[in-house]
Amino acid sequence: MKSPTPIRLYVSPTGNDRWSGRSPQQPFATIARAQAAARRLKQCAAVRVELRGGVYVLKKPLVFRPADSGAPSPRDEWGRDTGPHRHVTWAAYRNEKPILSGGRRITGWRETEVNGRRAWVTRIGGKFTQLWVNTRRAQRTRLPKRGYFRGATPPASVYKNSIASLFHTETRFKFLNNDLAAWRNVRDIEFVALHFWIESRIPFASINSKTREARLQWKPRMRLTDDHQRLGVQYYVENVFEALDEPGQWYHDRSRGELYYLPLPGEKITTVEAVAPRLKQLMVVEGEHLHFEGLTFSHSEWTPGEEKHTATPQAACHIPGAISFRRARECSLRNCAVTHIGSYGVECIEGCSDVALQSNRITDLAGGGVKIWHSWDTKAKAKPGVGPDTRWTNSCRRVIVADNEIADGGHRWRQAVGVLVGKCSGNQILRNHIHDLDYSGISVGWTWGYAESFGYGNIIEHNHIHDIGRGVLSDMGGIYLLGVAPGTRVRFNRIHDIESRGYGGWGIYLDEGSAYVLVENNLVYRTKSQGFHQHYGRENIIRNNIFAFGREGQFMRSRLENHVSFHFTRNVVIGDGTGQMAGGAWNEARATVDHNLYFAKGGQKLHFAGKTLAAWRKLGLDRHSLVADPLLDKKFRLSPRSPARKIGFVPFAVNP
């Protein structure tokens, strides 16, 4: 049924709350005034609130509660609509650009000199870890300027080849040479370790130059080694006053309430626009039938409070979104910009359903892009014999993340991902452009092993994912899955340029317990490790994909289990500079691998987990597969003469 013409309200930074707000010429001045007016009007009609261009400085987050909600269509006893929906929409006025800012503009600059360099300084209190100058994220001081320090080699008592030892941590560590010093305001300097699949970011408690020992304010989550090697961790330090010596850098002296900035060429002290974040979140939506269109959300900050000891797990999952949908139903965020953010961009939590996040630009992120998350039901009791996971009941479902650009993330929380989905089902991640992140592009699932996962039927299709990892962390994937996930589909995705720091830069990565997943019609190329990797799992279907140019091989299985791991069929598999096709654990088959086409550019001999093709076939693998040039062009399009058709490969199109 057609929606009625909405009643329109208008807001402008130059408006007046005493005006009617019913025309662009007589707008309200504040969003709060428009919100009060919309609450009264929505009882009888749809409402559309349009914001004129300009900056709306938020002193606290915008909060939309059930009282602000629209209403669904009334229905008869058969569930049929008998009237129109009454939506409440908050949108940009025509082609204007309203910016909802959680920051504060910094003024009062004066000339000074720091470390022999021309600098500006101003008075400002509070705590913030990010600064934007003329819309550009400014660089906080760090050492070393380029690359990383390395910690001292840990004693044998710390380095052990066991899972438990990974999480044996201490607040003290030894540094090498004169890498660290007793710098000014040492407790405001952050130690940033890059190890395994996480970043540990912790302020110092003390630095002793004589003993070359540093003490941290709390323990890191994982041991301070270079991944699984017996080497000291790679790290850098941030917010060092003595390192303030390059144009574009800044330093905040909290004890003195002074902010220093070294201007770039051409920047003028009289016209510079500098913004520091103030709010943790910009908007919270807790209602129904609430829609947001064409708005820009900017300038937020998140630092660990009570979460400080658990703030940096895999995927930075505890970090909130600057925009938070909570228990929201049939709401949307469309054609918006979420930029200059100190956390995740957008989150759906506490049982959201039927929320659409579509055609947004989510960029310049301290963390990741979108988080769809579960929550722990503290009132529920575990069922006898089933286990505590039965209390994960407050999951989000049917959230659509489509047609967004999610990029330039991980500025502060390196392990955050483009789209993160926890113990949630029925969500769709479609046609997104995800790039320039330091960890995985898309991560779905949050159950390690074969226990109840609460994550079914998630659809990941037609996404373009590239420039992931950037050599910062290890153990990642362009698309990363966890747990038993029947109905989950990974199809028509284009994934390339996945670069881990150490081990594990995979294209599609099915981690612990991944089961009953369909991986089909994906194009994966130029990965540090293999294009496809399954740690361990059950009965996954990997078919009709192109896996090409993995530097360490093209597909891999890490663990041999007493069941069928996966069915790997009708795939085109190409090496460039390596004849290594399969890697990992293959003493027995326990998988269907057949009707594939293999080719190594340059004429290298093919190897399958250290075996020749003949030895590989004795395991019952690839008995009907071919070795031939697939005749692909530079865009991975098949020639009509391609032998791929002989294995039943069906050409497919992906995002350009």
| Span between the terminal Cα atoms of the chain, in Å | 37
Whether 221 is covered by a domain: the verdict is yes
Top pLDDT among 155 and 631 is at 631
Confidence of residue 82 (pLDDT cuts 50, 70, 90): low
Same domain, 160 and 227: yes
The answer, yes or no, to whether residue 425 has pLDDT greater than 70, is yes
* pLDDT tops 70 at residue 417: yes
Cβ partners under 8 Å of residue 342, min gap 6: 129, 130, 277, 280, 300, 301, 302, 322, 366, 367, 412
Residue 303 located in a structural domain? no
Which of 423, 426, 419, 420 lies closest to 404 in space, CA to CA?
Answer: 419
Q: Which of 75-79, 439-443, 638-642 has the lowest mean pLDDT?
A: 75-79
pLDDT at 408: 98
Return the minimum-mean-pLDDT range out of 31-35, 174-178, 307-311, 512-516: 307-311
- Worst-scoring range by mean pLDDT, 384-393, 405-414, 456-465? 384-393
196 and 75 co-located in one domain: no
63 and 37 within one domain: yes
E-state strands within 254-355: 258-261, 274-277, 283-285, 290-293, 296-298, 321-326, 332-334, 337-341, 344-349
| 189 and 176 within one domain | yes
- Per-residue pLDDT of 231-287, as tens digits, reads 889 999 999 999 999 999 999 999 999 999 999 999 999 999 999 999 999 999 999
- Mean of pLDDT over the chain: 92
Whether 123 and 261 share a structural domain: yes
H or E segment and range at residue 476:
strand 476-481
> Residue 387 has what pLDDT?
44
pLDDT at 453: 93
- Specify whether the CB–CB gap between 464 and 427 falls below 8 A: no
**Domain ends where: 102, 129, 157?**
102
What sign does the dihedral 596-568-456-400 (CA atoms) show? negative
Q: Are residues 259 and 136 in the same domain?
A: yes
* 231 domain residue, yes or no: yes
For 470-474, what is the mean pLDDT? 96
68 is a domain residue = yes
Kindly state the average pLDDT of the residues 59-70.
94
pLDDT at 73: 61
Residue 250: inside a domain: yes
Asked if 91 and 232 sit in the same domain, the reply is no
Q: What is the pLDDT of residue 592?
A: 97
Query: Which value, in Å, is the radius of gyration of the alpha carbons in the chain?
Result: 27
- Residue 115 forms part of a structural domain: yes
Q: What is the number of domains present in the chain?
A: 3
DSSP class of residue 639 equals: P
Mean pLDDT of 193-220: 94
Shared domain for 58 and 202, answered yes or no, is: no
Distance, in Å, from the CA atom of 400 to the CA atom of 421, rounded to the nearest integer, reads 11
Mean per-residue pLDDT, 305-319: 78
Domain boundary among 255, 275, 295: 275
According to the model, what pLDDT value does residue 648 have? Answer: 97
Q: pLDDT value at position 74? A: 62
Pick the last residue of a domain from 275, 291, 322: 275
Q: In which domain, by residue range, is 228 found?
A: 143-242
Beta-strand relationship, 489-491 and 518-520: parallel
Q: pLDDT, tens digit, for every residue of 581-615? A: 999 999 999 999 999 999 999 888 999 999 999 99
On the question of pLDDT at 2 being above 60, the answer is no
In a domain, 323, yes or no: no
pLDDT at 555: 98
Give the CA distances from residue 592 to residues 203, 565, 613, 651, in Å, rounded to whole numbers and listed in that order.
50, 8, 15, 22
pLDDT exceeds 50 at position 386: no
Q: Are 89 and 114 contained in the same domain?
A: no
Which of 289, 322, 323, 492 lies closest to 413, judged by CA? Answer: 322
pLDDT at residue 93 in the model: 97
Does residue 113 sit in the same domain as residue 91? no
Residue 504 has pLDDT above 80, yes or no: yes
pLDDT at 384 over 50: no
pLDDT, tens digit, 9 for 90 and up, residues 566-586 = 999 999 999 998 899 999 999
Would you state the pLDDT for residue 72?
73
Verify that 53 and 180 share a domain, yes or no.
no
Clarify whether residues 74 and 114 are in a common domain: no
Would residue 25 count as lying in a domain?
yes
Task: Tell me: pLDDT of 80 over 60.
Answer: no
Question: Which pLDDT tens digit goes with each residue over 478-498?
Answer: 999 999 999 999 999 999 999
Q: What is the reported pLDDT for 81?
A: 58
Degrees to nearest 5, angle at CA 422 with 421 and 424:
90
